[in-house]
Amino acid sequence: MRVALCGITVRFGALTAVEDVSLAIEPGEVHAVVGENGAGKTTLMNVLFGLVAPQAGAIRLDGQDRRWTSPQDAIRHGLGMVHQHFMLQESMSVLENIVLCAEPAGRFGLVDFSAARSRLRRIAEQHGISLALDRPVARLSVGERQVVEVLKMLYRQAEVLILDEPTSVLTPQEKDRLFATLRSFRTAGKAIVLITHKLDEVMELADRVSVMRAGRLVWSGRLSQTSKEEIARGIVGGALPPARQRAVRTPGEPVLAVRDLEVAGRSGAVGPLSLRVHAGEIVGIAGVAGNGQGELIQAITGLAPALSGEIALCGRPVTHLDVERRRRLGMSYIPEDRQRMGLALGATVSENANAGRDDRRAFTRGPFLDRAAMARFASGLIERFRIRVGGPSALAATMSGGNKQKLVVGRELARNTPLVIAENPTWGVDIGAIDFIHGELMRMRDEGHAVLLVSTELDEVMALSDRILVMYAGAIAGEVAGTEADRETIGRMMTSRAHQALPEVA
């Protein structure tokens, strides 16, 4: 099926998210749509999928004008979309999730699960996908959940597949598997739209590239007619940021000391873990998601109780203190989940920016809020962290992912605490914002703060860390100095306990 978007324009209030964009999606091709967060990629695809109604422009399927009243309309006409945030029912099985809203009705209106099962088997076999259909989704890894989303589209006989940042949650191996599946779709004559900001993936998989910047389409054509550098320049609209220089500095006093920490995890206890983070260094924790990093961070921040062991912050024991006291002692935390933990989406930017500040007197008068002072502080953050948003009184929900993240990072770093904990700080964020956030973390290190960085993106850990700890199955599988790190060694530690015999990690 041929899809054409003609002159699409979308406005949210005063903000023009997409302006007069036209592009064509051809069957048997992978079409990469790249651009910074806030460039309008997701909005454009939401238009195609019927989630957003455009102010102007038309959608054409095989030359016929279409107008969607809802995503169901688009699905009926052979479109499928995998969103950045998965839309699955955790307590239901894989099979139930896939047939949901498209159940094959048998006699008496009962759901004919066996028919669905055999059809799914055929689809999975055809594209080389293997997945246990009866497991509850709650017990699947993030990568497996994505496979469920992809199968869901195939089950609905989608001819055009839209994937929004599909690899941001995957390990390198899972990514390879996904790409193999997508190649199989291409061979089968399906059209694939890949929204991404990772240029390596574009170079690896795409046939056609469209570059968006600030709501406009700046370039569209075959991949063979362009180069990685040219695409990158198109995305940022100018020269690329220079490679990062690392100032040499000797680490100072230990700021965070964790000894023999054990935490309750979803599948058994995590730990015992011991680690130290000194002033003026970035310690990176690498590992595939779900190997105990989340539990470790929850225990350090005070969000989850420690079963045993000790945590000391700036030389003071904090194992039994609550989140508020730990933060006051000198801890900032950039959580992985900005939608739920990092921000209150229903509140304004200003309200989000001021939450969790220690100097409450700066924005209150007695028991009353000083709204003007709150707005001033938020405006300061908006300016300093180059957050693209309507203003301090805009709702947090109106920002794009990268800008939401910048707000969280800005709020936390502005507290200027001795310890900064950053958990996947650039998850689903564009090149410009990644560079900016990395720069800020480096600046904190250079100014003598201790930074604990947890990331499932190996490149990120390697680019920033002075020391790298690798977590596997709830324990620290090994330590590598940042300068000596190579992907092979770390990759091996990420998947085996072989390095447990190494001397204790300090």
Partner 1 sequence: MRTLRESAVLREAVSWGVALAWIAGVLFLLMALVGAPFGEALSAFLQNAFGGRRLSYLMATLSRAALIAGMAVSVMLSFRAGLFNIGGEGQLVAGGLVAALAALFLPGPPLFVLGASILAAMVAGAGWALLAGLLQLHLGVPLLVGSLLLNYPIRYIASYLVAHPFRDVQSGMVQSHLVPQATWLPYFPGTRLDIGILFIAAASLFAIIYSHFTLHGYHARMNGLSPAFARTVGLPVGKLTLQTLAMSGAIAGLVGAVAVFGVHHRYIDGMLVQPLYAWTGIIAVLLVGMIPWAVPLSGLFFAAIQTGAAGMERSAGVPKEIALVMQAVIILFVASRVSGALVASSERRAGGGEGA
Q: Which is nearer to partner 1, 36 or 159 (CB)?
A: 36
Alpha helices in 266-420 (DSSP H): 293-301, 323-330, 349-354, 371-384, 401-413
* Structure tokens, 245: 């220089």
Interface characters, 279-318, with partner 1 (x: CB under 8 A)? ----------------------x-x---------------
Interface characters, 14-53, with partner 1 (x: CB under 8 A)? -x-x-------------------xxxxxxx--------x-
Task: Pick from 132, 188, 397, 498 the residue near partner 1 by CB under 8 A.
Answer: 397
* Structure tokens, 392: 């301090």
**Least distance (Å) from partner 1 to the CB of residue 49?**
13
Residues in 173-202 at the binding interface with partner 1, rule: CB under 8 A:
none
Q: Which is nearer to partner 1, 7 or 346 (CB)?
A: 346
Can you tell me the distance from the alpha carbon of 357 to that of 56, in angstroms, rounded to the nearest whole number?
A: 43
**Least distance (Å) from partner 1 to the CB of residue 400?**
4
- Phi, psi (rounded to 5 degrees) for 232: -60, -40
Q: What is the 3-state secondary structure (H, E, C) of 60-73?
A: EECCEEECCCCHHH
Residues that contact partner 1, how many (by CB under 8 A): 48
Can you tell me the distance from the alpha carbon of 451 to that of 440, in angstroms, rounded to the nearest whole number?
A: 11
**Least distance (Å) from partner 1 to the CB of residue 34?**
12
284-301 b/e with 16+ CB inside 10 Å = b?
bbbbbbbbbbbbbbbbbb
Q: Does 351 engage in binding with partner 1 (CB under 8 A)?
A: yes
Alpha helices in 188-287 (DSSP H): 199-205, 228-236
Q: Does 459 engage in binding with partner 1 (CB under 8 A)?
A: no
Q: Does 12 engage in binding with partner 1 (CB under 8 A)?
A: yes
Task: Pick from 335, 392, 474, 482 the residue near partner 1 by CB under 8 A.
Answer: 335
**Least distance (Å) from partner 1 to the CB of residue 87?**
13
DSSP 449: -
Q: Which is nearer to partner 1, 78 or 402 (CB)?
A: 402
Which stretch, 72-80, 121-129, 223-231, 333-341, contacts partner 1 (CB under 8 A)? 333-341
Q: Does 392 engage in binding with partner 1 (CB under 8 A)?
A: no
28-58 b/e with 16+ CB inside 10 Å = b?
ebbbbbbbbbbbbbbbbbbbbbbbbebeebe
Can you tell me the distance from the alpha carbon of 279 to that of 255, in angstroms, rounded to the nearest whole number?
A: 6
Look at the block and give the residue holding tokens 């370039």: 219
Q: Which is nearer to partner 1, 351 or 466 (CB)?
A: 351
Contact yes or no for 29/1 (Cβ under 8 A) = no
**Least distance (Å) from partner 1 to the CB of residue 397?**
5
Q: Does 90 engage in binding with partner 1 (CB under 8 A)?
A: no
Which stretch, 99-107, 198-206, 354-362, 457-465, contacts partner 1 (CB under 8 A)? 354-362
* Structure tokens, 376: 């001033």
Q: Which is nearer to partner 1, 424 or 465 (CB)?
A: 424
- Phi, psi (rounded to 5 degrees) for 356: 80, 10
**Least distance (Å) from partner 1 to the CB of residue 203?**
22
Number of neighbours of residue 414 by Cβ within 10 angstroms: 16
**Which residues contribute to the site for partner 1 (CB under 8 A)?**
10, 12-13, 15, 17, 37-43, 52, 301, 303, 322-324, 326-328, 333, 335, 337, 340-347, 351, 355-356, 360, 364, 367-369, 395, 397-402, 404
